[in-house]
Structure 1
């Protein structure tokens, strides 16, 4: 199984931040709203939006639902609320007490992605804060719970049998990209006790905040370790979603061949086949795809694409053909977690 290195930074938040950085507000009053945005599986994503001339707060945060242990659910949900409100208060109070010398509004953006493997549920939060100066800071945190009669939360060191094995696998990934990670590739100190992570049916994903293991230009990033390479504790080793092949959907889409003989898929035809919403931003020259629980951003001629706000690297770059954007099959396998097989000479089958 191919490991993925996920990089975020200039691409991952550029669109989101670019619309709200320095001095773009003409409001005289605070505009605030809080609501439940959407529900995915065992996670409800709630929203807080509050704007004033001095600050801009846009938060999506998780609340677990339908857990077997209601007392545990209430406790962890309250912990998340308390943490979110603390961050919001720090930004609002800081903006009012210590305004940016540049006159720019303070920023706090949070978003969440749910991952699940059997009864193990991960809610991964990406947080961007700007409090003046040239750049903000992007951090990652996670809440990981096992849904059982007596609910339990886990830290990363608690889910693996051998933490040294995990650290060695992570360092090997850094060494493959020494040009990105620099000294960390040679001397990785190991995961923290509170290192954010997520568990899927296929991989253990370890997340790193901006500046944690690489220069700020890299942004937040992550390493994905295939589950067949890492020993999980017995309590989690068998946690899988158990989706049978018969329960997965298969669609067929037409393809083209590049001059190098590589398979290319039209993003628009892909979106139609998979029932995704598709939007083209002419000014930024990028494509946005949306489906339940996930969003994707594709930038033609750049070998990076976003999945839920975190950018992936080391893919074949999307291309323009006759005014349409095409991607290679690695976008299907890496971003969409799909299986691809040949159907005919000019069609492929996609199963997910």
Structure 2
């Protein structure tokens, strides 16, 4: 009887254990199903969130691209306006530069016309030689006018965004021709222009930089002191293989407290109406956009030197092959 009683107790215990195990299994299975549903729900929410964020990023990127285009257009307009403002400041001198050779051309042509009328086509050898020389001089004057107009045309050309190889020396000489009248009464121009490799840049914008630096140098010197002052432009290669351009003057110099602000937009030490305060800021923007640097050193009553450092031009094929 006792054994049977114990056996029946074991059977009851085992039955309870099996039911408990079955309940635990069902509970675990239910928990797993709940967890899986929650995970699927979470994944769906995450995917939807990712889709929404992606759409938002695409819209934000499109807005940024549009803002960038507007910024580039505004920058191009600013650069163009600064060039026109500089040309406007030099307008009287440029008119004089063009009028001088034009008057010379007209005078020589008048002389040739009078000689032809007077001699009725039967000029002596000496008179013929004089007329030939007068026509040759008139041609030289016409070429001078043509060069001035060409340089003005370059500076007044609207901006494009493509950079390429630029001859620094040619750009400097173009700027000198445009600024010649402004420089002539203030200082002797000294050129130390050695041949350097082309730089990676934009011809119009580099010419704009050099013209601004030359005009600033001229304005640092009072008119009528050309014999006692000089403006020096030079080119050389740096130890790191970059092209260096320097524009220096023996003018009034820049106060030490102004040196740190000299490239800030609208900062100027010139009287009202003489400058916009954008010239050096524009120069800084152009040079840094080309991967170069511009710096200044100055000493009161002794002069100022602006140094422009530019990378040498490398064709895209060379860059790609070196990277490979």
TM range (shorter): under 0.3
Higher relative contact order (CA 8 A, sep 6+): 1
- Larger fraction in strand: 1
If you compute each CA radius of gyration, which structure gives the higher value, 1 or 2?
2
> More helix per residue: 1 or 2?
2
Q: TM-score normalised to the size of structure 1?
A: 0.25
